[in-house]
Amino acid sequence: MRNKITLFSFLIALVQFMNVQAQERVISGTVISAQKSMPIPGVNVIIEGTNKGTVTDFDGNFSIKAETGDVLSFSSIGYKTVKRTVGSNDQINVQLEADLQALDEVVVTALGISRDKKSLGYATQEVDGEDLTVAKDQNVIGALGGRVAGVQVTGSSGASMGGTQKIKIRGVNSIGGGDQPLIVIDGTPISNANFAGSAGADYGNLGQDVNPADIESVNVLKGPAASALYGIRGQYGVIMITTKKGAAEKFTVQANSTFSVQSTYDFMPLQNMYGGGSSLDFRTLPNGDPYVDISVDESWGPRMDGTMVRQVFSFYPQDPTYGQLTPFVPHPDNIKDFYETGYTFNNTVSVAGGGEKINFRISLNDTKIEGVEPNTHLDRNNLTVHADADVVDKINVSTNFTFARNDAQRPGQGSEFGANYLVQWFQRNVDMNRLRDYQYEDGTYLHWNLSRPSSETGEVTDFDPLYWNNPFFNAYENLSQDNRDRFFGDVGITFQVLENLSLSGHIRGDLYTQNIQERTAFGGKSLPSFYIGKFQNKEFNYEFLAQFDEEWGDLSLNASLGGNIWNRNYTYLTMATVGGLSSPGFYNIDASIDRPETSNYLLRKQVRSLFGLVSLGYADTFFVDASLRNDNSSALPDDNNSYWYPSISGSVIFSEFLDWDPLSFAKARASYAQAGSDLSPYETTMGFGVGTVYEGTNTLFVPDNLNNPNIEPSFAHSYELGLDLRFFDSRLGFDFTYYEQKNKNQIINLDVSGASGYGSTTINAGLIENKGIEVAINARPIETGKFFWDTNLNFASNESMVVELAPGIDVYTYSSTTYSSVTSFLNSYEGKPFGSLVGTAYQRDEATGQILLGDDNMPLYTDETHNFGSVLPDFTGGFSNTFSYGNWRLSGMIEFQGGGQFFSRSKMLAVRTGQDPVTVAMNDRGANVRDPLDQGGGVKVEGISAETGEPVSAYVNARSYYRNVLGRRIYEEWLFDASYIKMKELRLGYNLTKEILGNFPVESVQLAVIAQNPFMIWQEAPEGIDPSAISTGAQSISWYESGQLPSVRSIGVDVNITF
């Protein structure tokens, strides 16, 4: 009987268990963004009415036990909550729509403090990490261009392969030009310095050591009110980078691979009618053969009509065409033929995971770039690690660090290096493909410009280049190489003393070693040489921070108090041979013919800081922030080395008082702040430099600049007003900012009389006043079914005015460039906009404005003091759009600039050397301007006679006009408007979700076709000169172009797989 009861009980229990199992089952699925069709990690999945729930993993996947009829709630910060009822399907996939009102509720601000964005009384703008990798830009600085209102990125054609990109926030704020913002990654300030070699190579800015694929978001702190807590380093704004972290619940592996090809385009138009030489007639050898004047690096020679002539290759005894006549014909693509198809292969693998008390993410990146210039390449490797753990109750230990290694062989830059000179000095008849094999079997190098053949023998006896190296010789023999090892990151500990009080400490470091080698080979134009440089930087920040948060009814308080010690130790050692090398191909300092030059430098600096921040809120509507920081700098004199940076800001959520259905959110804000900067060490006391060796002993010399022991910090006073409006359930957002900033007491080097024994002295002087507006608009114009259209517009206008210089001084020269004894300047004038471009201009008749002509009917020109106005743009911005339909997504980014100007030496010299099409134009008499005057040729000039005052209309010799006057003396002719509209990025992608992949052993796959810099939509400047890539100038100001590398477009495929 007992056995029957036991059996009966077992059967009842089994039935009940089976019934429960029938009701409760595992529900799984994926949560993705409706806008971007990308997985969303960290989404809360809760069964309503219970405490049962889970969160989505790194790939947006979840699984939860639930019964039929249960309601699952999906919620995440920045997204609208979605509810789904469990039915018969075990798979529930959800798309969350962005809640624009809450999307940016929490942002990372100064010192890594997370804040509610609506409480901020100053301007910040956040960019999602995914937006930075639309077209896989390898430099985070370049990726920011056009995406943040008030941020301008300039410089570096794609052909420069990792070259420097300059960034400014809110225009120019320093007469001295040192206005680069601070970069902070996961709370650690890092250097964004750039290196330029003696041979013209651009070794890039250090910001590119950050792998964009590791970035979660970037928050740009624009004004001093936002960045005051960073003291002297944050005066010009801060770029706050937050990297991706691990997620709990599941171990995830993600692999991303991008392959793209790069090609040059948008070359400067050149003429193909006349070839090398200085006369319309060929020169003649003793045997009567005509030959191209190989001693001239210009194209003012005879018409290229197929005449059989001796060309440069025929004078090399080793050449198959030695002594032969060949057709004198153009090679229209001879400059384009120098460049190759480059490629980039970028791979990133990351693993992430965690549990209740620990999470981690490890990322490994490998990037290989083959440049569009021959024999150039760049290899980069990044290891990025994040980990944090609750080691014991209330104590968390964390670390973030990146190790980056770069190894590159760079293209030369500027008019004298690489192939950059070709648009300035070249012969249109030269076959570039013949130059490719630049060395004969016997070791003789092939060049295209040589001394003239002997008038007696007709032979060339000196095969060294007369003016320019064969560009392939430069590419394969004159090498610019560098490698860099870098480590930056932090180790921190946080003690949660109370629920609302935490104490944390961090040690943060940024260390790098940059090695540079530059070779100048035998057989070229320049003396063979060898240069090496080693640059080492060690920066450590020791930081303590206490944070307190509390609420009393409607009143909230957030307070932070901390301190920081910043130590910097920077050294370099450079060595260069003198007088040549003792042996060809042996590149070593020991091979120096004369005593080699050496230079050694050591910089040590410490800044000790205390800071505090108090934020008060009332009724979640009224907010006030006040901060104060004190810096004590070792670089300043003891009496002036302590200075304070106060800030105050406030905001009001006035939509709380309005009852208007279209208005979703409205905030007004205002702020005031004071920021400042100091100077480099050793600039306040007398020092000596090491001079040349005299009778075996080093000599000392007094430096050219007189240091000032009474120097004080410079200060900036900033005022800001802003308005943040959102309409129609946050489908339309509008953010407006007006700011004024006065930068006074600036630290500049001012020229002094040579009678003092010095050339300049360091003083406090000058006042720059900045005013501007910033507008950021985001909208979703269309939201129907599966189709979404999201658009963003960023616009900024800034004016930098030089209000004061120094007493008795009304002009300050910032930079200059000279050609053929004629100089142009970038000056600052008291009472004028910053950055006046100054140089020679046409002399004009005061009454009519017409050009004054001399006795030879050539235009007259002024001295080098004519002010053409500011080089800074009137406005900048970007316009991005994303169209989503189901799993498809199309994204595009347009960048634009209005106004500004630059001087183009390339265009000037292309005219001077007869390569520009204008030099072969037809005049109004129906003849080519190069034809003799008595045959109807010549350039027509019209103006006023400077001597008689009478109108003049005459024809002048084309070569004399273009070569000796326009292409050499008159800079006004070569100033161009820098306005442009540029398609910066394009991406077409498709997301393969788990539902599509089925049993395939991956969670998701994203496929995309990408394009970076695909084309220029419109520009005011001449074809072949990209105003957005001008990199020549000083620090953050690019104002003249010389030998610019061609534009490069990149087209590729991107694959992202999550396991």
Query: Could you read off the pLDDT of 932-968 as tens digits, one per residue?
Result: 999 999 999 999 999 999 999 999 999 999 999 998 8
Tell me if 543 is assigned to some domain.
yes
Tell me if 963 is assigned to some domain.
no
d(CA 993, CA 294): 65
| 3-class DSSP state of 1017 | strand
Q: How many CB atoms lie within 10 A of CB 935?
A: 10
882 contacts: CB under 8 Å, gap ≥ 6: 35, 36, 788, 789, 790, 791, 889, 890, 891
Q: What is the DSSP letter of 437?
A: S
| Burial (CB count within 10 angstroms: exposed 0-12, middle 13-18, buried 19+), residue 21 | exposed
331 contacts: CB under 8 Å, gap ≥ 6: 337, 428, 429, 430, 431, 432
**The predicted structure's pLDDT at residue 32:** 86
Half-sphere exposure of 119 (CA within 13 A, CB side): 23
**The predicted structure's pLDDT at residue 782:** 93
Tokens of 841: 């201009």
Tell me if 438 is assigned to some domain.
yes
d(CA 366, CA 1015): 28
Tell me if 240 is assigned to some domain.
yes
Residue 777 contacts residue 809 (beta carbons within 8 Å): no
∠ CA 142-148-151, rounded to 5°:
65
∠ CA 551-223-510, rounded to 5°:
90
d(CA 986, CA 135): 7
For a pLDDT cut of 70, what percent of the chain falls above it? 94
Above 90 in pLDDT, residue 1003? no
Q: How many CB atoms lie within 10 A of CB 661?
A: 8
Supply φ then ψ for residue 891, to 5 degrees: -125, 145
Residue 624 contacts residue 556 (beta carbons within 8 Å): no
CATH code at position 712 = 2.40.170.20
724 and 606 inside one domain? yes
Residue 718 contacts residue 673 (beta carbons within 8 Å): yes
Tokens of 479: 């090498």
d(CA 139, CA 370): 16
Query: Model confidence over 1012-1054: pLDDT tens digits?
Result: 999 999 999 999 999 998 876 555 678 888 888 889 999 999 9
Q: Residue 161 — pLDDT band, cuts 50, 70, 90?
A: confident
**The predicted structure's pLDDT at residue 405:** 97
Q: Residue 781 — pLDDT band, cuts 50, 70, 90?
A: very high
The DSSP-derived string for 870-898 is: E-S-SEEEEEEEEEEETTEEEEEEEEEEE
260 and 297 inside one domain? no
Q: Is 995 left (phi over 0), alpha (psi -120 to 50) or beta?
A: alpha
This prediction's pTM: 0.88
463 and 547 inside one domain? no
Residue 492 contacts residue 188 (beta carbons within 8 Å): no
Average of pLDDT values for 400-425?
A: 83
d(CA 821, CA 195): 28
**The predicted structure's pLDDT at residue 592:** 96
Query: Model confidence over 167-180: pLDDT tens digits?
Result: 889 988 888 766 78
**The predicted structure's pLDDT at residue 416:** 53
Tokens of 498: 């109370």
Residue 196 contacts residue 535 (beta carbons within 8 Å): no
Above 70 in pLDDT, residue 5? no
304 and 351 inside one domain? no
361 contacts: CB under 8 Å, gap ≥ 6: 244, 245, 246, 350, 351, 352, 384, 385, 386, 387
Q: Residue 898 — pLDDT band, cuts 50, 70, 90?
A: very high
Average of pLDDT values for 598-619?
A: 94
Boundary of a domain, candidates 64, 79, 96: 96
Average of pLDDT values for 663-672?
A: 94
Mean of the per-residue pLDDT values of the chain: 89
**The predicted structure's pLDDT at residue 33:** 80
Tokens of 737: 């900012």
Query: Model confidence over 580-594: pLDDT tens digits?
Result: 999 999 999 999 999
Tokens of 409: 């062989």
462 and 481 inside one domain? no
770 and 875 inside one domain? yes
231 contacts: CB under 8 Å, gap ≥ 6: 607, 609, 611, 629, 631, 645, 675
Above 70 in pLDDT, residue 982? yes
Between 750 and 191, name the one with better pLDDT.
191
Tell me if 973 is assigned to some domain.
no
Above 80 in pLDDT, residue 230? yes
Tell me if 972 is assigned to some domain.
no
∠ CA 1040-1041-1047, rounded to 5°:
140
Tell me if 939 is assigned to some domain.
no
Can you list the positions of beta strands (E) in 619-713?
A: 622-633, 642-652, 663-677, 689-694, 697-701, 705-706
Average of pLDDT values for 882-893?
A: 94
Tokens of 175: 């007469």
Characterize the bridge pairing of strands 980-992 and 1004-1019. Answer: antiparallel
d(CA 834, CA 997): 58
Tell me if 161 is assigned to some domain.
yes
Residue 1053 contacts residue 258 (beta carbons within 8 Å): yes
Average of pLDDT values for 258-269?
A: 95
Average of pLDDT values for 805-813?
A: 86
698 and 777 inside one domain? yes
362 and 296 inside one domain? no
453 and 591 inside one domain? no
Supply φ then ψ for residue 861, to 5 degrees: -135, 160
Q: Residue 417 — pLDDT band, cuts 50, 70, 90?
A: low
166 and 241 inside one domain? yes
31 and 172 inside one domain? no
CATH code at position 19 = 2.60.40.10
553 and 447 inside one domain? no
330 contacts: CB under 8 Å, gap ≥ 6: 272, 273, 275, 304, 428, 429
Boundary of a domain, candidates 70, 96, 122: 96
| Burial (CB count within 10 angstroms: exposed 0-12, middle 13-18, buried 19+), residue 364 | middle
For a pLDDT cut of 90, what percent of the chain falls above it? 63
If one counts the domains in the chain, the total is 3
Q: Which residues pair with 503 in a beta bridge?
A: 495, 546
Tokens of 184: 């902070």
Above 80 in pLDDT, residue 647? yes
Radius of gyration, CA atoms only, the chain: 33
Can you list the positions of beta strands (E) in 875-979?
A: 875-885, 888-898, 901-904, 939-945, 951-956, 975-977
d(CA 56, CA 5): 46
Distance of CA 1047 to CAs 433, 649, 767, 1023, Å? 21, 44, 38, 11
259 contacts: CB under 8 Å, gap ≥ 6: 343, 344, 345, 346, 1052, 1053
| 3-class DSSP state of 909 | helix
Average of pLDDT values for 874-881?
A: 97
d(CA 169, CA 148): 9
Tokens of 154: 């300039």
Average of pLDDT values for 815-829?
A: 88
**The predicted structure's pLDDT at residue 197:** 61
d(CA 103, CA 36): 14
Residue 107 contacts residue 126 (beta carbons within 8 Å): yes
Can you list the positions of beta strands (E) in 728-786?
A: 732-751, 760-784
| 3-class DSSP state of 470 | coil
Tokens of 79: 């997204």
Element (DSSP H or E) covering residue 329: none
Of 720, 945, 727, give the one whose Cα is nearest residue 848.
945
d(CA 685, CA 635): 10
Q: What letter represents residue 603's amino acid?
A: L
d(CA 44, CA 104): 18
**The predicted structure's pLDDT at residue 415:** 47
Average of pLDDT values for 125-134?
A: 91
Alpha helices (H) along 571-620: none
Above 60 in pLDDT, residue 414? no
Query: Model confidence over 520-539: pLDDT tens digits?
Result: 999 999 999 999 999 999 99
Supply φ then ψ for residue 698, to 5 degrees: -70, 140
d(CA 256, CA 238): 29
Residue 868 contacts residue 838 (beta carbons within 8 Å): yes
**The predicted structure's pLDDT at residue 875:** 97
Residue 484 contacts residue 515 (beta carbons within 8 Å): yes
**The predicted structure's pLDDT at residue 688:** 74
1031 contacts: CB under 8 Å, gap ≥ 6: 154, 155, 156, 157, 160, 163, 164, 166, 202, 413, 1038, 1044
| 3-class DSSP state of 74 | strand
Q: How many CB atoms lie within 10 A of CB 88?
A: 5
**The predicted structure's pLDDT at residue 12:** 42
Query: Model confidence over 378-391: pLDDT tens digits?
Result: 999 999 999 999 99
Residue 92 contacts residue 29 (beta carbons within 8 Å): yes
| 3-class DSSP state of 925 | coil
d(CA 129, CA 240): 12
Tokens of 286: 């003793």
Between 453 and 758, name the one with better pLDDT.
453
Query: Model confidence over 12-64: pLDDT tens digits?
Result: 443 343 344 446 788 988 888 876 667 787 788 888 877 677 878 767 888 88
Boundary of a domain, candidates 437, 467, 497: 467
Range(s) of the domain holding residue 708: 140-246+255-264+342-414+473-835+871-900+978-1058
Q: What letter represents residue 105's amino acid?
A: E
Q: Residue 158 — pLDDT band, cuts 50, 70, 90?
A: low
